[in-house]
Structure 1
């Protein structure tokens, strides 16, 4: 049996429920009617009363049961659709969150090295000073980088920069921030570091870069080193002044022969 139009078909389960409810309604109606007639002593009206009592449930119960079942099915379908919509919205929300995080990362990190970019570097330094933190700033520059590009091409230069970025990322603490601030220039912000601790990390970066095993596309060995300058900063320090001091030490490292660390106090380290 099937209904026409947009109404759902009468399934076996629905038909079974209609028959059971109708049968139960007929029996209950007959019992109640017979009891009332007998209590009133109107036995002559018993046949007609029972006929009416049996006919009314047959007339009313099946369509009422069908309407009830149809509404139940529609509610179940609506609930299922709502659940599916909720799952879809959750999935969309998760994808939007991932996309937003990816955009935030792209906006604050260097695409080549994965380190923080210049804007992130400057904002982090300002935020540390605003929170009354002190520490050390290391300015880092790849030595003879123009020669690498000129002799071996920009692909070799890019590989060298990537290697330097990886060496920096692998040399610092979780609380530190490594950044590429432009071209072959890098920086590290060491929150809460002493001069001794800063010099130790700077030397670790220098040694790790020097130990990089790198070659060009044609197999030519590529030797990469960096020069590093460091300067302290505190809550009252001006970012530009701290950067100028660290740059000054970096230039001193360059003038002294490159591949070395010079801190603001004049402490110099280099490979033996």
Structure 2
């Protein structure tokens, strides 16, 4: 409110000054004297009318700005909710696919990893959905750790995730994939107190190029993921231009 009063005072002072200058110029041109009464009237009238009007206008502008800011923030939160998986805080499937579609156009070569939590249905069936949610949260926390600042991660299904590695060739992509696999394998998960349950993930990896569509990338990565699960889970399978090659959890990723 203090700022509004200061602004209104400055505007009123400017109006008074302009009124005095205008009145003085008119009277000087017409040969009429510029009396003290004229000076007083040129000062009082703008103050009596201009100051309250200025205060009112500034108050309305402040209210309008607050309303606009509130609407902008509400729209931002709605957009976040529309793009985010509510349980994990990751991008949801649609938001993830939209983002990699844009990033893939500008990346010389990238990598897409599709990740599935192994035997996850068993956790829900044996220990309940609360334990399943706890396992998913632990897996997400583990998956976040090895990723670089520009890497994109999303939840694209119930227990399925995807990671897009922009401007990444096969060796660093394999290294990150192995770090992800190992991070999940290292989780100490207790579905109930005093009982351990091993967690692991299977990863399908495919290289990308600007000429590939999002559908092609997902199909190739899904093929690799299917092969990883068929081979016994807890491993990485690479699909490079349609050629599937296995890299299991014991392999040295730098040599792959």
Shorter chain as normaliser: what TM range?
0.7 to 0.9
- Which of 135, 158, 161 is residue 160 of structure 1 equivalent to? 135
- Which of 234, 240, 247 is residue 215 of structure 2 equivalent to? 240
Q: Is the 8 A contact 2:205 2:224 kept in 1?
A: yes
Corresponding residue of 2:72? 97
Gaps of 5+ in 2: 1-34, 252-256
Corresponding residue of 1:231? 206
What CA distance in whole angstroms lies between the structure 2 residues aligned with 1:95 and 1:188?
A: 34
Q: Secondary structure of 1:212's match?
A: coil
Structure 1 stretch displaced more, 163-172 or 67-76? 67-76
Corresponding residue of 2:90? 115
Structure 1 stretch displaced more, 239-248 or 136-145? 239-248
C-alpha offsets along residues 189-230 of structure 1, whole Å, 9 cap, x if unaligned? 111110111111111111111222333364543432111110
Q: Secondary structure of 1:179's match?
A: strand
Corresponding residue of 1:43? none
Decide which structure has the larger Cα Rg and report it: 1
C-alpha offsets along residues 89-113 of structure 1, whole Å, 9 cap, x if unaligned? 2222222222111111111121111
What CA distance in whole angstroms lies between the structure 2 residues aligned with 1:169 and 1:95?
A: 32
Q: Secondary structure of 1:215's match?
A: coil
- TM-score, with length taken from structure 2: 0.73
- Which of 201, 221, 226 is residue 251 of structure 1 equivalent to? 226
Corresponding residue of 1:38? none
- Which of 134, 149, 173 is residue 124 of structure 2 equivalent to? 149
Q: Secondary structure of 1:221's match?
A: coil
What CA distance in whole angstroms lies between the structure 2 residues aligned with 1:270 and 1:80?
A: 71
C-alpha offsets along residues 116-166 of structure 1, whole Å, 9 cap, x if unaligned? 111112212322343464311101000000000001111111121122222
What CA distance in whole angstroms lies between the structure 2 residues aligned with 1:81 and 1:222?
A: 67
Pair 1:193 & 2:168 matched: yes
Displacement of 1:184: 0.5
What CA distance in whole angstroms lies between the structure 2 residues aligned with 1:170 and 1:87?
A: 44
Q: Secondary structure of 1:110's match?
A: coil
Runs of 4+ that moved beyond 4 A: 64-68
* Number of equivalenced pairs: 213
- TM-score, with length taken from structure 1: 0.69
What CA distance in whole angstroms lies between the structure 2 residues aligned with 1:271 and 1:92?
A: 59
Q: Is the 8 A contact 2:150 2:166 kept in 1?
A: yes
C-alpha offsets along residues 51-107 of structure 1, whole Å, 9 cap, x if unaligned? xxxxxx9xx959x95895364144223322333333322222222222111111111
Q: Is the 8 A contact 2:118 2:234 kept in 1?
A: yes
Gaps of 5+ in 1: 1-56
What CA distance in whole angstroms lies between the structure 1 residues aligned with 2:163 and 2:95?
A: 12
Structure 1 stretch displaced more, 180-189 or 65-74? 65-74
Pair 1:84 & 2:59 matched: yes
